[in-house]
Amino acid sequence: MSAERGQRAVFCGLTGIVWLHRKIQGAFFLVVGSRTCAHLIQSAAGVMIFAEPRFATAIIEERDLAGMSDANAELDRVVARLLEGRNDIRLLFLVGSCPSEVIKLDLSRAAQRLSARFAPSVRVLNYSGSGIETTFTQGEDACLASLVPTLPADDQPGLLVVGSLADVVEAQLQRLLVQMGIPSVQFLPPRHAERLPGIGARTRYLLAQPFLADTARALEERGARRIAAPMPYGAEGTTLWLEAAADAYGVDRRRLEEIIAPPRQRAQRAVAAQRSLLAGKRVFFFPDSQLEVPLARFLTRELSMVAVEIATPYLHRGHLDRELALLPPDSRIIEGPGVDAQLDRCRAEQPDLVVCGMGLANPLEAEGLATKWSIELMFAPIQGYEQAGDLAELFARPLVRRTRLAV
């Protein structure tokens, strides 16, 4: 394992708004940033933007740079106008950006001020999605961490599953956990801004995403304790994830086996369907979402692929301890690599499949390398038994496509 410097080629944390604004009904994300931020959000959100948008950008203009009081007054005006026209907003996130950080616009004070003004109908929170503080999925981490102190206290035992999941995945996992007899299974982020899960000293939490360092810290501060587990990718990952939950709540292993055997077999069959194509193929990860280590574990263990290099923007060794233990011991894991040096290594290795961001995918394809764009792994439902086959298929598709094309 090593860390590297040099130019990074990653999204900033603002990008998380693209899925968070869909996930949490009743929440609104107001980015305080430049035209570039607005452009990013618009182009990243692409087609979604006109479907009842729950995000916007308060654009910092030249006159805002002149004096801080003006910027604050302007922000208050923008928020007031926004809330006036939208009575469906219950929770407003002020999202910091690179320029707002650099001019030291204090959004936490702004959030307090605005919360006092619009309480109780609207709560105003803040977090930073800036590219000088956060990388891509760290935006979700920052968002959820800002939400944790506002969760209601609850001293009953309960399990909290943490990290954005597609609704369908959430429902599947919830069914399994409830069948196991685990009391009060709740999810963070919640589906609606007004239905926040409770938390207390008897809450155990289970991460469903690998990038939630700050959120976990905030949960611990509220007394919750983490259940260590690998991520629920593939038949094996999902089983280990559920077993960890079962053990934490004293669920009998035989009972667990009865519940999970049918879906696990389905998952194994579905994954096996892709193995003949992927086994032995060499895969190379560029850093993107922090999903790289768990995905590499899935590909190496369940599909017999060879991970040539696993680069991740940030490596949380504590949360990934179970994952790292499952990887081949000599794996080349690199934290925050410089893009030019990594491109050189990638070209030298000539892997069968490159997992990378959208800025690199077409140029690498043009050089003859097969690529899988990694952002899709953040948007597609990939967790749980029923999605294991789909996850494998996402990696198989670029290779299948190459065998089909005769042009």
Partner 1 sequence: MRIATAMQGLHYVLHSPQGDTYADLLFTMIERRDQRPPVTYTTFQARDLGGDTAQLLQSAVRAAYERHQPQAMLVGASCTAELLQDDPGGLARALNLPVPVVALELPAYQRKENWGAAETFYRLVRTLAAPTGGDRSGTGNQVDPAAVRRPRCNLLGATALGFRHRDDVCEITRLLGRLGIDINVTAPLGATPADLARLGAADFNVVLYPEIARPAAEWLEKTFSQPWTRTIPIGIAATRAFISEVAGLAKVSADEVLEGAPSRLPWYSRSVDSNYLTGKRVFIFGDATHAIAAARIAADELGFSVVGLGSYSREHAREVREAAARHGLEALITDDYLAVEAAVTELQPELVLGTQMERHIAKRLRIPCAVISAPIHVQDFPARYAPQMGWEGANVIFDTWVQPLMMGLEEHLLTMFRGDHEFHDEAAPSHLGASPAAAVTPAPTPAAAATAAGVSWSDEAERELGKIPFFVRGKARRNTESYAAQRQLSLVTLETLYDAKAHFAR
Q: Site residues (CB under 8 A) for partner 1?
A: 7-15, 34-36, 40, 43-44, 46-47, 49-51, 60-62, 65, 98-99, 101-103, 130-133, 135, 340, 357-363, 365-366
Residue type, 35: R
**Which helix (H) or strand (E) segment is 331 a member of?**
none
Q: Which of 71, 141, 69, 135 is nearest to 99 (CA)?
A: 71
d(CA 247, CA 242): 9
Q: What's the closest the beta carbon of residue 389 comes to partner 1, in angstroms?
A: 27
Q: Of 239 and 312, which CB lies nearer to partner 1 in the complex structure?
A: 312
Q: Of 9 and 218, which CB lies nearer to partner 1 in the complex structure?
A: 9
Q: What's the closest the beta carbon of residue 370 comes to partner 1, in angstroms?
A: 15
- For the record, the structure tokens of 12 come out as 């900033």
Q: What's the closest the beta carbon of residue 218 comes to partner 1, in angstroms?
A: 19
Beta strands per DSSP E along 328-385: 333-335, 353-356, 371-373
Q: What's the closest the beta carbon of residue 249 comes to partner 1, in angstroms?
A: 40
Residue ranges in 138-233 assigned as alpha helix (H):
138-147, 167-179, 213-221
Is residue 25 within 8 A of residue 192, CB to CB? The reply is yes
Sign of the CA dihedral 321, 268, 173, 169? positive
Q: Of 373 and 385, which CB lies nearer to partner 1 in the complex structure?
A: 373
Q: Of 76 and 365, which CB lies nearer to partner 1 in the complex structure?
A: 365
Q: What's the closest the beta carbon of residue 70 comes to partner 1, in angstroms?
A: 13
Q: Of 34 and 174, which CB lies nearer to partner 1 in the complex structure?
A: 34
Q: What's the closest the beta carbon of residue 140 comes to partner 1, in angstroms?
A: 15
Q: What are the backbone dihedrals phi and psi of residue 59, each rounded to the nearest 5 degrees, phi first? A: -85, 125
Q: Which of 105, 313, 279 is nearest to 211 (CA)?
A: 313
Q: Of 258 and 367, which CB lies nearer to partner 1 in the complex structure?
A: 367
Q: Of 16 and 197, which CB lies nearer to partner 1 in the complex structure?
A: 16
d(CA 232, CA 243): 11
Q: What's the closest the beta carbon of residue 142 comes to partner 1, in angstroms?
A: 13
Q: What's the closest the beta carbon of residue 334 comes to partner 1, in angstroms?
A: 16
d(CA 319, CA 230): 8
Q: What's the closest the beta carbon of residue 49 comes to partner 1, in angstroms?
A: 7
Residue 238 in 3-state DSSP? helix
Q: What's the closest the beta carbon of residue 84 comes to partner 1, in angstroms?
A: 14
SS3 content of the chain, % helix, strand, coil (to 5): 50, 15, 30
Beginning with the edge strand found earlier in the chain, give each strand of the sheet holding 306-312 in spatial order. 2-3, 333-335, 306-312, 282-285, 353-356, 371-373
The torsion region of residue 22 among left (phi > 0), alpha (psi -120 to 50) and beta comes to alpha
d(CA 381, CA 167): 9
Q: How many CA atoms lie within 13 A of 308 on its CB side?
A: 19
Q: Of 44 and 272, which CB lies nearer to partner 1 in the complex structure?
A: 44
Q: Of 206 and 364, which CB lies nearer to partner 1 in the complex structure?
A: 364
